[in-house]
């Protein structure tokens, strides 16, 4: 990460909040070919720097004393645990230096819910950490990035956002990391929080939080040291139960894992089940084999979040993150060992 710079000095009366903006790429930093600038068609994600994004959000410096740093500039489809750790490390360092000041992360929309939830697990609730994104690239007509960034900075500087865990701000709404998901591939209002709904709404006069989290979200990893950047991560794969799911893919994974040709070896399987988490009998037979071999098997509903239990409210990709973090934090050596 570059040293954070401050080129957006405070303007206007009164003490302003202090906010760090970390750029990671995404459509919000996307650029389209010259002929398609207005429509944004054929754009490339992760091109513009976070300094350029801030410059394109007029008035944002009226709301906070800004520092910024570029962590990477990627399409978030290519994100991975290394990015979660870099972000968690940057936020922990910022909190040590700047106390209660908030942090905004610009991110691609595709895997925003994964980075947001991983950070929610890796950080104490503390000062606000707000991820934001855009569905249209920077120069498209009615680009949503500048407004989302503006709103995210306001939420990050709002004491009412303290202690709520990692948040996502998009399209005038504030979502909790544990609830939010990208629910449409292209619409401007792509993000939603399912039946729970957003935590709050952003209007001209600021943010109105309309609900609390139903229960304190569990953050089993927040007070522990972060794994090293090169720590071995366990393999946790997603498989789906569907008409004709015969379990052969699970058997192939198990065989390769036992033979040592699959590296790292298989640590867990998150199974997208039908209905409330039912599984085709042939796939179930293969999963039983996996469980006997020591693989952690967790079934989640394929049509919505888990209800009740330790994964209450989480979707499949977030349950996968929990299994990954358990594997990497608890015992990297066990994670390497894979199935017996």
User: For the chain, first and last CA: distance in Å?
Assistant: 40
Site for ligand ASP in 26-65 (CB under 6 A): 26-27, 45
Question: How many Å apart are CA 8 and CA 196, to the nearest integer?
Answer: 37
Closest distance to ligand ASP from the beta carbon of 39 (Å): 15
Question: How many Å apart are CA 108 and CA 76, to the nearest integer?
Answer: 5
Q: Which residue is nearest to ligand ASP (CB)?
A: 108
Residue 132 interacts with ligand ASP (CB under 6 A)? no
Closest distance to ligand ASP from the beta carbon of 135 (Å): 6
- Close Cβ partners of 13 (under 8 Å, ≥ 6 residues apart): none
The answer to whether residue 39 is catalytic is no
- Close Cβ partners of 327 (under 8 Å, ≥ 6 residues apart): 233, 234, 236, 267, 268, 296, 334, 335
- Give whichever of 80 and 214 is closer to ligand ASP, judged by the CB atom: 80
- Give whichever of 17 and 315 is closer to ligand ASP, judged by the CB atom: 315
Q: Of these, 5, 77, 97, 187, which contacts ligand ASP (CB under 6 A)?
A: 77
User: Active-site residue among 24, 27, 111, 132?
Assistant: 27
- Give whichever of 76 and 241 is closer to ligand ASP, judged by the CB atom: 76
Distances 178 to 88, 116, 134 between C-alpha atoms, Å: 16, 8, 20
Residue 146 interacts with ligand ASP (CB under 6 A)? no
- Give whichever of 187 and 211 is closer to ligand ASP, judged by the CB atom: 187
289 token code pair: 């084999």
DSSP letters spanning 231-268: PPPPEEEEEE--TT--SHHHHHHHHHHHHT-SSSPEEE
- Give whichever of 76 and 298 is closer to ligand ASP, judged by the CB atom: 76
- Give whichever of 105 and 295 is closer to ligand ASP, judged by the CB atom: 105
Residue 110 interacts with ligand ASP (CB under 6 A)? yes
Q: Of these, 122, 129, 133, 143, which contacts ligand ASP (CB under 6 A)?
A: 133
CA-derived radius of gyration, the chain: 21
Question: How many Å apart are CA 182 and CA 66, to the nearest integer?
Answer: 28
Residue 223: half-sphere exposure toward Cβ, Cα within 13 Å: 2
Question: How many Å apart are CA 118 and CA 310, to the nearest integer?
Answer: 16
Sole window of 75-83, 201-209, 251-259, 297-305 interacting with ligand ASP (rule: CB under 6 A)? 75-83
Q: Of these, 135, 140, 149, 153, which contacts ligand ASP (CB under 6 A)?
A: 135
Please give the positions annotated as active site: 27
Site residues (vs ligand ASP, CB under 6 A): 25-27, 45, 75-77, 108-110, 133, 135
């Amino acid at each position: 990460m570059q040293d954070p710079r401050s080129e957006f000095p405070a303007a206007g009366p009164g003490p302003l909040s202090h906010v760090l903006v970390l750029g990671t790429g995404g459509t919000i930093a996307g650029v389209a070919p010259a002929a398609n600038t207005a429509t944004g068609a054929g754009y490339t994600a992760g091109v513009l720097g976070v300094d350029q994004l801030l410059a394109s959000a007029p008035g944002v410096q009226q709301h906070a004393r800004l520092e910024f740093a570029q962590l990477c500039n990627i399409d978030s489809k290519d994100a991975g645990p290394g990015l979660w750790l870099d972000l968690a490390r940057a936020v922990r360092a910022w909190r040590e230096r700047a106390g209660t000041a908030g942090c905004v992360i610009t991110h691609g929309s595709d895997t925003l819910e994964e980075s947001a939830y991983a950070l929610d697990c890796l950080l104490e609730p503390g000062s606000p950490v707000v991820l934001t994104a855009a569905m249209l690239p920077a120069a498209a007509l009615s680009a949503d990035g500048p407004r989302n960034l503006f709103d995210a900075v306001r939420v990050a500087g709002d004491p009412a956002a303290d202690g709520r865990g990692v948040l996502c701000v998009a399209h005038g709404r504030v979502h909790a990391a544990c609830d939010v998901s990208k629910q449409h591939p292209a619409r401007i209002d792509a993000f939603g929080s399912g039946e729970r709904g957003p935590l709050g709404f952003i209007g001209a006069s600021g943010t109105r939080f309309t609900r609390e989290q139903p229960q304190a979200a569990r953050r089993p990893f927040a007070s522990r040291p972060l794994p090293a950047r090169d720590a071995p991560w366990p393999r946790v794969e997603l498989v789906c139960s569907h008409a004709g799911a015969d379990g052969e893919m699970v058997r192939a994974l198990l065989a390769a894992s036992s033979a040592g040709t699959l590296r790292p070896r298989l640590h867990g399987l998150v199974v997208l089940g039908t209905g409330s988490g039912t599984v085709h009998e042939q796939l179930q037979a293969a999963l039983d084999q996996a469980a006997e071999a020591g693989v952690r098997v967790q079934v989640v509903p394929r049509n919505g979040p888990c209800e009740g239990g330790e994964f209450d409210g989480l979707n499949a990709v977030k349950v996968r993150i929990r299994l990954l973090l358990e594997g990497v934090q608890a015992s990297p050596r066990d994670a390497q060992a894979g199935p017996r």
